[in-house]
Amino acid sequence: MKQANFCAASSETALRSSHAADYANQLLQDLGTEAQVTAQTDHPAIAYRRSGLLQTTGLMLPVPLASHADGALMALKAISSNPENLPDFGSVLLGERARLRETIRKGRLCAGGYGRLMDSADGRIALNLVREDDWDLIPAWLEDYADDWEGIEQLVAQKDTTYLADRAAEIGLAVAKDELPSKPDTWFSMTRFNSATRKTPLIVDLSGLWAGPLASSLLAMTGAKVVKVESPTRPDGMRAGHKGFYDLLNAGKDCVALNFRDAEDLARLKTLLHKADIVIEASRPRALRQLGIAAEDFVAAKAGKIWARLTAYGQSENRIGFGDDIGISAGLGTVMDMAYDEPCFVGDAIADPINGLHLALAIQASLNQGGGVIIDLTMRDVLRYAMGDVPSDMKSMAQEWQSIAQQDKAPLYALRTPNGTVKALGADNAVWL
């Protein structure tokens, strides 16, 4: 009897780990904060399963990405003065869209349904045709005609990866090379200006889709005021997607609509950007420059201002990327190939929620230090950093973790419920303009 109890207790203990806390402390140290966390949380394999990533992907990921998402949120809680309303787990943010929309990966097709892994003449790429008129670009990309995925695959199989990636970058298609880059030394860069203290900051969020809006929603939970700016001709595309998910990311934000191609609206936008304590944007570097908006001017003009930018592959590149293809460029496809001889997407647009978490953390840390900074996050690098060190024997690690997950019969982590519904496009123009 006593013996049995001892065994149960010891196997319970084995399912807890310090992966999340260790990663949280690493992030806090990277950001130059004094804060530290100590906690034993769910083992990475358990967190991966209970967050929904296992059912979305169908296979265990042999690196502790889910625990590192938990760690990023723990770090944010550790440095926030009002952490009570933040979600329970960071990893739940990774799995929630696929759970809400009930989508899973199908072979080489990603859970969202728009991205596909395919073999080139000398390697493998991910192609993500998320926008309707992306299909119109296929002939220009491949210099040949293809009407469906099969046709594209046949043409791609004859061409080199570099040719495919370079041409896609030029015409603005989301194509990523399937490779495993080495872990970067750092996950952000900061350019510092003059600092000043801010209590309840005003965030002007120009970003759309998932990563940027997630970051501003997390900061809103800790007390920031968020104004979401959209173009009336090009609103946040996720307005047309799953409503409950859009509410999770955007409920409670004020909504302003401005036509960036109209001179008067552009002037109003600049006024609003001057008023902001924090600006979040995820546009291609060229886009705002061509509107005459340079982050440096705005941050230099107001002490303590924070301007946070997300790009797929860095400020020096105009390449576009979305959560799934960026996941492949960060090495998730290669890791799965090494573990199972089956390259595949992991999770659902996973670079988005991972970057949203890290962006919120970087902004909060900067805010605590008085702001006055331009923060750049490169989505591929952040995801690669969050994957951590890749084990040398991925096959045995995958087997071990898969069996831990299989023995776990607990329900998945509870899904979040939205804090109200999102406002209509431009609902708060009268308040802010």
Picking from 181, 100, 15, the residue whose alpha carbon sits closest to that of residue 414 is 100
Q: How far apart are CA 349 and CA 323, in angstroms?
A: 4
137 binds other proteins (CB under 8 A): yes
240 binds other proteins (CB under 8 A): yes
> Smallest gap, in angstroms, from Cβ of residue 293 to other proteins?
15
For other proteins, the closer of residues 139 and 184 by Cβ is 139
188 binds other proteins (CB under 8 A): no
Tell me which residues in 142-181 interact with other proteins (CB under 8 A).
142-143, 167, 170-172
418 binds other proteins (CB under 8 A): no
Among 322, 340, 401, 413, binds other proteins (CB under 8 A): 322
238 binds other proteins (CB under 8 A): yes
* Beta strand spans in 39-101 (E): 41-42
Token look-up 């990533």 returns 53
Tell me which residues in 190-209 interact with other proteins (CB under 8 A).
208-209
**Cα atoms in the Cβ-side hemisphere of radius 13 Å centred on 262:** 10
SS3 241: coil
> Smallest gap, in angstroms, from Cβ of residue 329 to other proteins?
14
Token look-up 């592959």 returns 313
Q: Mask 243-282, x = binds other proteins (CB under 8 A)?
A: ----------------------------------------
Q: How far apart are CA 29 and CA 23, in angstroms?
A: 10
Q: Which residues of 403-428 are buried (b: 16+ CB within 10 A; e: fewer)?
A: ebbeebeeeebeebebeeebbebbeb
345 binds other proteins (CB under 8 A): no
241 binds other proteins (CB under 8 A): yes
Picking from 25, 368, 366, 72, the residue whose alpha carbon sits closest to that of residue 190 is 366
Beta bridge partners of 191: 374
131 binds other proteins (CB under 8 A): yes
> Smallest gap, in angstroms, from Cβ of residue 355 to other proteins?
12
Only one of the segments 117-125, 136-144, 363-371, 402-410 lies at the binding site for other proteins (rule: CB under 8 A); that segment is 136-144
Task: Provide the H-helix boundaries in 208-284.
Answer: 211-221, 243-250, 263-275
324 binds other proteins (CB under 8 A): yes
Picking from 49, 54, 24, 48, the residue whose alpha carbon sits closest to that of residue 38 is 24
Among 48, 89, 141, 193, binds other proteins (CB under 8 A): 141
Instruction: Give the interface with other proteins as residue ranges (CB under 8 A).
Output: 97, 101, 112, 114, 128, 130-134, 136-137, 139-143, 167, 170-172, 208-210, 233-242, 284, 286, 290, 318, 322-324, 349, 352
